[in-house]
Structure 1
Amino acid sequence: MHKKYFAKYKEPFIPLPNLVEMQLNSFNWFLKEGLKELFHEFSPINDYAGKEFFLEFLDYSIDEPKYDEYYAKANNLSYEVPLKIRVRLTKKETQETKEQDVFLTDMPLMTEHGTFIVNGVERVVVAQLARSFGVYFTINVLRGRNLFGAKIIPNRGAWIEVETDFDGVMYVRIDRKRKIPVTTFLRVFGLKDSKEIEKNFSKVDNGEINYIKKTLEKDDAATVEEAYVEIYKRIRPGELATVENAKELLDDMFSPSRYDFSSVGRYKFNQRLGLPLKDIKSASRTLSLEDLIAVVSEVINMNNNPEAQPDDIDHLGNRRIRAVGEMLQNQLRIGMARMKRNIQDRMSTLDPDVLTPFNLINSRLFSAVLKKFFTTSQLSQFMSQKNTLDELEHLRRLSALGPGGLTKERAGFEVRDVHISHYGRICPIETPEGPTIGLVVHLASYSRLNEYGILETPYRRVKNGVIASEIVYLDASEESKYNIAHSGIEYDKDGKILENEIEARVHGQPGIVLKDKIDFIDVAPQQAFSIATSLIPFLEHDDANRALMGSNMQRQAVPCLQSEAPLVATGIEERAARDSGRLFIADDNGKISHVDATSITLKTKTGKEKNYKLVSFLRSNDFTIIHQRPVVDSGEEVVKGQILADTSASDHGQLALGQNIVVAFLSWNGANFEDAIILSRRLVEKDKFTSVHIEKFSVQVRDTKLGPEITTYDIPNVGEEKLKDLDEEGIIRVGAEVRSGDILVGKISPKGEAELTPEERLLRSFFGEKARDVKDTSLRMEHGKQGRIVGIKIFSRDHGDKLDVGVIKEIHIEVAQIRKVSVGDKLAGRHGNKGVISKILPIEDMPYLEDGTPVDIILNPLGVASRMNIGQILETHLGLAASRLGYQAICPSLNGATDEEIIEEMQKAGWPVDGKVTLYDGRTGEPFQQKVTVGSIYMMKLAHMVEDKIHMRSVGPYSLITQQPLGGKAQGGGQRFGEMEVWALEGYGAAHTLQEMLTIKSDDMLGRTSAYEAIVRGERFKNPHLPASFYVLLHELKGLALDVELEGI
């Protein structure tokens, strides 16, 4: 099917970058630079006295992984590589050295698509959006006056806050302790006398209030020694303050080992104060006198300037991304610090003659930190895998939560809000709807991280109203200095801007400027949006709240059995599918020499053969299916970059999350009231929304105190019918159809026995141990589930598999289920138009067009107007034309087809220009009174399926305390009949129904037993008895020493 582009469409100035490069680049930096920095930081390690030994970390090496990611997933292993380090131990007296390679840990390795596999489970480390290190200027309004201050925030070390008093005195706080006059603090850093201090600030301190003079009047310290003592008294009140103690404390506090700005902090510090930005990497990362003078001068400047504004902490210039590489480095720094202490302890306690690097290093301290991070950190998450877009967007997620971040309870509105600096860096639309709204966000399409972890977005330079070819990446702070136009403006093929006055972002604020004043232009119309939001056609016609729902619901779509690309697309479906890492792409030009369901072999021009192993029926983390199918034939010539195999959510290399179906916007007998959806049975029969789901059931065979458990076919008191699909080991065969209650693995466990009677002892002596009691502990299919066995995995100690203590073997059974679309399933479009199926009508009852074509789905027209997501109507009209003319319409976000173009396409296809046609009622054959909007819409089936939620109970478990049925599907519980439901029945006067609800259907123990017997025998119910909750009340009263007697009951 060919693609059709419309007049407004312009090719983006640059293609989309690799969509998971943030993760990949960060991890590569960690392997190459992060580990090097870390070992350099801790090398050398001296013994406590510093006289006998020192240990140096020379180099490290990373070996190849033992197996690939698929093997690791299949066998519940971690995909990891061994990390070894070369260590040299030197004896100071004799200068004798010993060098050894020491194994440190098995380190999880990132897969090609940015994930980690830990214990067979795919995980993602989500990048953290944290406050940047550096300096911030704050404001405190006191009695109508603006008093400015500053916060100096390092990567490691004490926070320093500068504040101005109402009297004009300036103070410093170290780590939120008591106030110290700023001049006292400056003396410690090298400004010894008062004249020198005044001289350094003479150029700025010339306003109405002389801040430095006022501070010097309050300063009790006249010399450097006194300054040290004064500061020590404030930091450690109550302790003996001597000059030596104070000097040691402060010098240590601001030494490179305790205080570190990091290169990011130094960059932001210099950028904010206008200091040089060259050679940042080699610049000092501690606090210097020049830094302090610059900060205090800026505070004085701001106090003297009535127009001055404090820094906006929510501006992206003041926030940065802490990606996976930096997080791993920070975690391993903790491990290295523990290991250092341990090495120093061993240097002091072990025999010096037998000391070797291997004896000194306890690598367990190092690997424990790594393991803890990957398994328990809030930012190391179980990968969301409902479909390939879900995987991709999880990798591009940014979270303000986590260690060192915010908490969702404490975060206010300001930090959650869309900020002007987000443009092109963070998507303003895609964020969760719940308590984490605005705290969990997604990267915009073209956004990238620079070396400091600051988000940048690309722009094309404009010179004198002509677009140049130069691409410039700007961070949020830099961007606010320029005038930037949107890519939708008119320009000719030479890049000359045609309009004279242009809407632009003028120094970060919306405005209109002349074309000659434009500095940059966006590279693409969807630059401001995330990938999921960029997949919504006619986004500009949707209300932002509905676009948010549309973005989020695309991630919840379940891959269909027959994937189908959308008729109305945005043009980035191909890139989204490709960068998810699930498609196979030809690495070179060549010819396909072999293809089947399990592999594709490509023979290159040089004669080399490259084999691509396809994945079949792989269970994802969300129980959907990951299944690759070839799209090339044997003997076909392919070029480098061509798609070889599709995945379960792609169609010829395009992301395909739903189905194109014929829609009518029509009210139909109240069945589509309140967003309910009416579906045609044709969609069920043609398997349009059919999906495959795979669940895993596992059982452990243990060695108990009474003896080992055994898997067997011979299970006591089970009929032959239930055992027909089990092998002699008691394990079900692949391909067997199973329903709830069926045995998946037959297992018997030894039973604890009471004292044997003489008769039993006699039987034992005759028949030996055979007569010993066993209990049936088989793994059975869960209640309410069914499917077909597609996979069996047996992990056994005998085969060398790692198992928990006391476990002989572990058996995993995978059950696949084909789910057709049914009443109660949730469907949604891309515009936030969601609903639950209320009815599935026979094809003959569905409304039909004049040519006899029945519609597939009926949506309520009232769901459009108030929701303001008109994009779905435009999609419907254009889809109608595209389906008849046989093309795929490409409508990028904010730059799609215009109304006139849609009308033109409708006319070409022979449809009325308003998209409304006469529709006939399938039941009567009569036309509906009004004409109806009919077209083609792209709908998705979401993961909220009725099969997972529907639940029935007749007899089941009861709570031991109240004797009422348990709650919830997992417990086989009942439906809650609460206070308000009781009022409803009281309102109707339904006394007998109400009594039944509160007694025999709840906690009347005698009544429910007799009712059950009566139903079995076909007799009438007897009168209910007292409910157990009444007895609970009596016991409560007795506990309060009130003896309540029941009379006449």
Structure 2
Amino acid sequence: MIYSLISFSLKNTETLVYNYIKFFKFILINKIFNLIPTFIIFNKFYIKFYLKNIKFNTNNKDLRLINYTNYLINPYYKISLPVEIKSLTKNFIFNFNLFQFPKINLEGNIILNGLKKIFISKIKKDTGLYFSKILKKNFTIYKASILFNNNLLNIELNKNYIYIYDLKNKIKINFIILIHYLGISNKEIIKYSRYGNSIFLKNLLKNTLKEYNNILDKNIYYLNNLQKISFYFGNLFYNINFILYKNNNYLINIKHKLFLDNTFSYQIKENWIYLYQDLINILDYLIDFKFNKKNLLNIDNFANKKLENLTDIILNQLNIIIEKRLKFFLQNLNKLNNISILNFINYINNKQFIFNFKEQFNINPLIQYLDQINSLSEIMHKFKLIKSNKFNLKDLNLRDIKTSELGKLCLINTSEGLNSGLIVYLPQNIILNNNEILTPYKIQLKKNIKIFNIKLINTLKQEKIKLSLINNFIKKNKIFYLLNSINFYKNFLEKTTINKLISFTETELLSLAENLIPFIFYNDPTRCLMGAKMQMQSVPLIYNQKALITTKTNQILIRKNNNIYSLQEGIVSFVSSYKIIIRDIYNREIIYYLPNYTFSNQKTIINFKPIVWTGERISLGQIIANNQEFKDNEFTLGNNCFVLYNSYKGYEFEDALIINKKLIEENIFSSLHMKCYEISCLYNYNNFLEITSIKLPKYNKFLKRNLDKQGIIKEGSKILDNDLLCGKIRFYNLTQKQESLGYFLFNLFGYKLRNITDNSIFISLGNSGRVVKIELFSTKYSIKELNIYLKLRIFIIKQRVLEVGDKLWGRYGNKGVIANIADSIDLPYTKDSITPDLITTSIGVPSRMNIGQLYETLFGLNCSYLDKRLLIKNNLNYKLGSNYLKLLLYDYLKQINLYKGISNFNSYNYGKSILFDGKTGKKLKGSVLLGTSFYTKLIHMVKEKIHYRTIGPYTTVTQQPIKSRSKQGGQRFGEMEVWALEAFGASYNLKELFTLKSDNIQGRLNLQEYLLNNLSIKKSVLSESFYLIINELKSLSLNIESLLLY
């Protein structure tokens, strides 16, 4: 694949860390050099800043040990600057702390309050030159906007004048006068302009001479404005894009040189572009637009966009932060006369006065809680982009994929709902270079020879060349040998001969999630989007299988995941479940510890397993351990199941699934989930103390069977509901009102009497499992500030098997809720005694146009019978015409008949099987489709969804139970749940859910009287939401009355 030829890709999350460190090493230091002077004289104090000795410190937190339980951990980088202060009485040097930045680990995650977060890049308008037009008072104004360094200059051409506006400083001056001020005469304007002999340009110059007479009265004011605007073009310190080099009128390109060349249609090989030529070209372009000689350029072109990085957010605030920090430092210098030097340094470097970017990162909407359900969801979250921060729901043009975005943004993957098209994802093969996305393309070097070269092309170059899909050719006739290529060029499809072919594959237009789906081009795009989303919501399983039908993307993900790699060449000397020891070529032992039983942000388990053996020779960079989502270096999250497309007692109603009980007995779709119990032992020197102990007389031996001598549960214990986790007691000193009584009791018993209370910890209901890890620790902060001398963490793993209500899904968006768990002996079977693992409805396939789902089922049947796998290419029909895939499928079905003797292929029923009833053994009428598909389990499990309450709040308007468990809201009963009850015919339950448990106020009162006073239940009345609809209709002047007929 092309990916293997690319040395640096945006998918390498290490580039995020590299850019962050590069920001500290170079950009931040240069910014400090420009903003902080070398010395300051203030109130008889001489202050010298040693800018060349900037120091970087850290709090040395181990980022590998951070999980969701460490809420107080905030690793950071501290930037300090040595400062020397001299006065008549004092002379000293100290480190002046400027600010703190949160750390980023090697995975590209920002650690904030012990949580892993990620920065989502935003596509925004780049620095450049943009043309537009405005309608104002029945005439058109043509405008050229120069955007650079958060500054904006507008050049507007009206009927008789051309002005330049500086919106920041509120300046308006004549553009021709500015050109004169920069040293360009009228003769040079006429000479280098394409409209030198036109009447319109000469009238503009004449009108400028008239304006010279008007500005004589305010000469100094106008000169100051001219100086301010020319300052943008001529000062390197203020603007890095526009500079005057050695007093010559030279202009460094606005975005890059290629942008100006593309705009003004000239190419200069040198690194410099003449300033006066660019300004005259802007003037010519505005005249072109005025006389309709050229069309306005597309502002939304992807060449005019760039990605906003995390460092851009920091740089936008850095000027204000340094200014405030210096101001605070200078205002408190006078305190040196009253306090000691040490107290002054401690006050200046106090944490509450140092600007910490942690607060800014916490409130920034672009820094999000990392999605860590599985490895794919984590990678795809890092490739998410926000297309615009202006969420204009009516702007459909913003949501579309333009031709300039081809190969830069994924064609399918986006968010659902209101933000559809505004939140997008990056495709599989892209490279980031200076906040610009580059796409690799194959370029044919010689005609009719399969020799290609990989070239990186940006958007500006991409619009000038003709792109062709690989193998997308047509012939003039059947005999003619030469092929013609179908190309994309300037928003159109063209047919051209193949001379120098620049081609790309279909997979390069899609993201990693879509490329995991085989036969994606034989499905509806909306279902492919749903399948890509559900891959990112699949929970890792205990036992997983490699998909029988796979794509090349499964193997690419092994390098993008956070696996453990060898840092040195050597031989493996020891392998276990928690560490790997490798002896390198210098006879050194390198120990790799596997971070097992760690939490993800979504509370799924991240568990690593070694894939090397003792004595194996390891090369540099080889993967030595991966997590449970990979098998034989392939990404897999599910299992291959026999799927029957048929009905079974009506349980398949509305995409519901019937599963074989064998899946539960063999733990096929079982997953592990971990929960942490954190226990604190408090102390107080005067009043009380908490300790753990097993000597608790109120509990029997059965409850204390898993406790050790200290009263803490043993590691590896199997615990049930309401079992004892930790026996903990608290001692209180008794206080007597009379001191004499206290002395009497002390002399009587020999010690002070204490009150003992039981604070033992029990496991909550429904959280039984096995204890896998116990942590005991204490910190200085908890001892001094929180009065906690010991902390105990107990990690419990629970195995969840399939239940009625869980969701399973295939790779084509075909998800369903488990409606029934049937015994194997009751299910239909084939001649060779194969029973289906899953039964689903056959109506959902043609209604959703999932032809690829049927292809996978039939090809998978061949692979399961003949014990082989199929590496599929997503588009197969280019080889032998449009019927190639159908002919290939027929051949594969014939192979089953030849090798296994199973006649599931004949001229009447293609790929269908004959089944027998599991209860009677009789042959079923007709034939059905039985095949093998790849299914996984979603994280939306029924145990986390079912929620109940006794009483709770209702909304004011609709009188329905509010949402959210945290607010004690009611259970959400949606559309699919209603279908399930309709399938079972539970009409009374439906009526109760829609009326008494929802918004029927009178019905709730009648039910309360029935339960409390044993009165009869009255007939239900209209619900409150129906009255709400009637009131809304009355607001439209429609008089509607509601009557109840008994």
Q: For the structure 1 residues 754 and 547, does the alpha-carbon distance in structure 2 shift closer, same or farther, using more than 3 Å as the test?
A: farther
Q: In 1, Cα distance between the equivalents of 2:571 and 2:451? A: 41
RMSD: 5.2
Q: Which residue pairs with 2:256 in the alignment?
A: 267
Q: Comparing 691-700 with 345-354, which one deviates more in the overlay? A: 345-354
2:942 paired with 1:946: yes
Q: Which residue pairs with 1:824 in the alignment?
A: 805
8 Å contact from structure 1 (residues 273, 294) kept in 2:
no
Q: For the structure 1 residues 212 and 176, does the alpha-carbon distance in structure 2 shift closer, same or farther, using more than 3 Å as the test?
A: farther
Q: Alpha-carbon deviation of 1:789? A: 3.2
Structure 1 counterpart SS, 2:845: helix
The TM-score normalised by the length of structure 2 is 0.79
Q: Comparing 986-995 with 879-888, which one deviates more in the overlay? A: 986-995
Q: In 1, Cα distance between the equivalents of 2:368 and 2:990? A: 52
8 Å contact from structure 1 (residues 26, 323) kept in 2:
no
Alignment of 1:488-887 (within 5 A): 488-489=471-472, 500-516=483-499, 518-522=500-504, 524-581=505-562, 583-698=563-678, 710=690, 712=692, 720=700, 731-737=712-718, 744=725, 781-782=763-764, 784-797=766-779, 810-887=791-868
Q: For the structure 1 residues 347 and 804, does the alpha-carbon distance in structure 2 shift closer, same or farther, using more than 3 Å as the test?
A: closer
Q: Which residue pairs with 2:421 in the alignment?
A: 438
8 Å contact from structure 2 (residues 670, 801) kept in 1:
yes
Q: Counterpart of 2:430 in structure 1: which amino acid? A: S
8 Å contact from structure 1 (residues 126, 395) kept in 2:
yes
Q: For the structure 1 residues 112 and 217, does the alpha-carbon distance in structure 2 shift closer, same or farther, using more than 3 Å as the test?
A: closer
Structure 2 counterpart SS, 1:907: helix
Q: Counterpart of 1:34 in structure 2: which amino acid? A: I
Q: In 2, Cα distance between the equivalents of 1:140 and 1:424? A: 33
Q: For the structure 1 residues 833 and 341, does the alpha-carbon distance in structure 2 shift closer, same or farther, using more than 3 Å as the test?
A: same
2:476 paired with 1:487: no
8 Å contact from structure 1 (residues 23, 323) kept in 2:
no
Structure 2 counterpart SS, 1:548: helix
Q: Counterpart of 2:929 in structure 1: which amino acid? A: T
2:467 paired with 1:477: no
Alignment of 1:901-980 (within 5 A): 901-910=888-897, 912=905, 914-953=910-949, 955=950, 969-970=965-966, 974-975=970-971
Q: Which residue pairs with 1:324 in the alignment?
A: 310
Q: In 1, Cα distance between the equivalents of 2:973 and 2:891? A: 57
The count of residues paired between Structure 1 and Structure 2 equals 970
The TM-score normalised by the length of structure 1 is 0.79
Q: For the structure 1 residues 223 and 217, does the alpha-carbon distance in structure 2 shift closer, same or farther, using more than 3 Å as the test?
A: closer
Structure 1 counterpart SS, 2:417: coil
2:298 paired with 1:301: no
Q: For the structure 1 residues 780 and 212, does the alpha-carbon distance in structure 2 shift closer, same or farther, using more than 3 Å as the test?
A: farther
Q: Which residue pairs with 1:57 in the alignment?
A: 51
Q: For the structure 1 residues 211 and 476, does the alpha-carbon distance in structure 2 shift closer, same or farther, using more than 3 Å as the test?
A: farther
Q: For the structure 1 residues 307 and 352, does the alpha-carbon distance in structure 2 shift closer, same or farther, using more than 3 Å as the test?
A: farther
Q: For the structure 1 residues 999 and 530, does the alpha-carbon distance in structure 2 shift closer, same or farther, using more than 3 Å as the test?
A: closer
Show CA shifts across 1:436-478 (max 9, x none): 322222221111111x211100113235635654322111122
Q: Which residue pairs with 1:29 in the alignment?
A: 22
Structure 2 counterpart SS, 1:58: helix
8 Å contact from structure 2 (residues 128, 254) kept in 1:
yes
Q: Alpha-carbon deviation of 1:321? A: 1.1
Q: Which residue pairs with 1:111 in the alignment?
A: 105
Q: In 2, Cα distance between the equivalents of 1:718 and 1:703? A: 24
Q: Alpha-carbon deviation of 1:317? A: 0.7
Q: In 1, Cα distance between the equivalents of 2:652 and 2:40? A: 78
Q: For the structure 1 residues 486 and 709, does the alpha-carbon distance in structure 2 shift closer, same or farther, using more than 3 Å as the test?
A: farther
Q: Which residue pairs with 1:69 in the alignment?
A: 63
Q: For the structure 1 residues 757 and 349, does the alpha-carbon distance in structure 2 shift closer, same or farther, using more than 3 Å as the test?
A: closer
Q: Alpha-carbon deviation of 1:326? A: 3.8
Q: Alpha-carbon deviation of 1:631? A: 2.4
Q: Alpha-carbon deviation of 1:221? A: 4.8
Structure 2 counterpart SS, 1:898: helix
Q: Counterpart of 2:108 in structure 1: which amino acid? A: G
Q: In 1, Cα distance between the equivalents of 2:335 and 2:210? A: 50
Q: Which residue pairs with 1:4 in the alignment?
A: none
2:21 paired with 1:38: no
Q: Comparing 673-682 with 728-737, which one deviates more in the overlay? A: 728-737
Q: For the structure 1 residues 572 and 61, does the alpha-carbon distance in structure 2 shift closer, same or farther, using more than 3 Å as the test?
A: farther
Alignment of 1:235-314 (within 5 A): 242=221, 259=239, 261=241, 265-267=254-256, 270-271=260-261, 273-274=263-264, 292-313=279-300
Q: Alpha-carbon deviation of 1:293? A: 4.1
Higher RCO (Cα < 8 Å, 6 or more apart) = 1
Show CA shifts across 1:466-513 (max 9, x none): 56543221111221011122233579xxxxx98521011224533221
8 Å contact from structure 1 (residues 188, 224) kept in 2:
no
Q: Alpha-carbon deviation of 1:190? A: 3.1
8 Å contact from structure 2 (residues 143, 155) kept in 1:
yes
Show CA shifts across 1:510-543 (max 9, x none): 3221112x45222x44111111111111111122
Q: Counterpart of 2:156 in structure 1: which amino acid? A: E
Q: In 2, Cα distance between the equivalents of 1:11 and 1:993? A: 56
Q: Which residue pairs with 1:462 in the alignment?
A: 444
Q: For the structure 1 residues 985 and 800, does the alpha-carbon distance in structure 2 shift closer, same or farther, using more than 3 Å as the test?
A: closer
8 Å contact from structure 1 (residues 45, 340) kept in 2:
no
8 Å contact from structure 1 (residues 335, 366) kept in 2:
no
Q: For the structure 1 residues 474 and 563, does the alpha-carbon distance in structure 2 shift closer, same or farther, using more than 3 Å as the test?
A: same
Q: In 2, Cα distance between the equivalents of 1:756 and 1:271? A: 93
Q: In 1, Cα distance between the equivalents of 2:973 and 2:832? A: 51
Alignment of 1:161-176 (within 5 A): 161-165=154-158, 167-175=159-167
Q: Alpha-carbon deviation of 1:712? A: 4.9
Alignment of 1:45-194 (within 5 A): 45-47=38-40, 52-60=46-54, 62=56, 66=60, 68-73=62-67, 78=73, 80=75, 82-83=77-78, 87=82, 89=84, 107-140=101-134, 147-156=141-150, 158-165=151-158, 167-175=159-167, 180=172, 182-183=174-175, 186=178, 190=182
Q: Alpha-carbon deviation of 1:632? A: 2.6
Q: In 2, Cα distance between the equivalents of 1:803 and 1:409? A: 52
Structure 1 counterpart SS, 2:355: helix
Identical counterparts, % of pairs: 22
Q: In 1, Cα distance between the equivalents of 2:736 and 2:529? A: 68
Q: Alpha-carbon deviation of 1:117? A: 3.1
8 Å contact from structure 2 (residues 3, 429) kept in 1:
no
Q: For the structure 1 residues 512 and 651, does the alpha-carbon distance in structure 2 shift closer, same or farther, using more than 3 Å as the test?
A: same
8 Å contact from structure 1 (residues 105, 366) kept in 2:
no
Structure 1 counterpart SS, 2:583: strand
8 Å contact from structure 1 (residues 129, 319) kept in 2:
yes
Q: Which residue pairs with 1:1015 in the alignment?
A: none
Q: Comparing 858-867 with 384-393, which one deviates more in the overlay? A: 858-867
Structure 1 counterpart SS, 2:143: strand
Q: For the structure 1 residues 993 and 54, does the alpha-carbon distance in structure 2 shift closer, same or farther, using more than 3 Å as the test?
A: closer
8 Å contact from structure 2 (residues 806, 942) kept in 1:
yes
Q: For the structure 1 residues 912 and 410, does the alpha-carbon distance in structure 2 shift closer, same or farther, using more than 3 Å as the test?
A: closer
Show CA shifts across 1:592-634 (max 9, x none): 2111111122234553333221122111111111111122332
Q: Which residue pairs with 2:368 in the alignment?
A: 381
Structure 1 counterpart SS, 2:923: coil
Q: Comparing 500-509 with 701-710, which one deviates more in the overlay? A: 701-710
Q: In 2, Cα distance between the equivalents of 1:951 and 1:143? A: 62
